[in-house]
Amino acid sequence: MPTALNRLTHPGGRLTLGLELPLDNDWGQSRLATDRKAGRPFGVPSLDAHAHLARLADRSGFAALWVRDVPLYDPVHFGDAGSVFETFTHLGHLAAVTERAVLGTAAVVLPLRRPLLVAKAAATVDALSCGRFVLGLASGDRPVEWPRPPSRSAATPSAGPSICCTRRTRWCSAAWAPPASPRRRGSCGSPERVRSVCSTATRACRSCWPPS
């Protein structure tokens, strides 16, 4: 059964291309003037057409759509606000408006989240997208996002156990497999599959969270 990672690989070995969201992130002079007029801060993209652009990318054959996880807007150290929307909520919407492209996180800032909730959210998106989801994890790169700044080592003591916990869920292979043939959009996320997936995630996370 093909996985989301298989979808990113061209059968002939050719390069595949994906897009990082948001797609409407123009920082040209004319756009900056429009943003100022609208009262939109620098680095905050307009998301008025985000669903339309995601559908267009999907129909155009791009292999994947990647969503960044930027919990806080930090205009001093980083000039952009990332994808703006909360990561998993956004991915749930993208699962409903796209049909082919792989949906991925690049990447979820794991030390700021409970691994159990990350596992459940990821498993839900995977089910709703019919197995098109790839979970990318990161420790974070913005000091403003660290729970206990300014020490990075102090901010991420549980990153190792957390990543271990999330990886151990293995929801795709252990709990369910996507259907062999295309089905009506939205039909993959049945409550039974999600319950089975999340039960597997819960058992895995209880074995190593919280860290001692």
The residue range of the domain holding 166 is 4-206
Q: Residue 141 falls within a domain, yes or no? A: yes
Burial per residue of 137-159, b for 16 or more beta-carbon CB atoms within 10 angstroms, e otherwise: bbbbebeebbeeeeeeeebbebb
The answer to whether 188 touches 129, Cβ cutoff 8 Å, is yes
User: Tens digit of pLDDT for each residue in 61-84?
Assistant: 999 999 999 888 888 777 787 778
Residues in the chain, pLDDT under 70: 1, 147-212
Q: Residue 127 falls within a domain, yes or no? A: yes
Burial per residue of 15-30, b for 16 or more beta-carbon CB atoms within 10 angstroms, e otherwise: eeebbebbbebeeeee
pLDDT on residue 51: 95
pLDDT on residue 76: 79
pLDDT on residue 188: 64
Q: Residue 211 falls within a domain, yes or no? A: no
Number of domains in the chain: 1
Tell me the CATH number at 142.
Answer: 3.20.20.30
Question: How far is residue 44's CA from residue 75's CA, in Å, rounded to a whole number?
Answer: 10
pLDDT on residue 136: 96
Q: Residue 131 falls within a domain, yes or no? A: yes
DSSP state of 130: T
Which positions ≥6 away from 124 have C-beta within 8 Å? 88, 92, 189, 194, 197, 198
Q: Residue 212 falls within a domain, yes or no? A: no
The answer to whether 101 touches 57, Cβ cutoff 8 Å, is yes
Q: Residue 33 falls within a domain, yes or no? A: yes
pLDDT on residue 179: 41
* Residue 165, phi then psi, degrees to nearest 5: -60, -50
Q: Residue 15 falls within a domain, yes or no? A: yes
3-state secondary structure 56-99: HHHHCCCCEEEECCCCCCCCCCCCCCCCCCCHHHHHHHHHHHCC
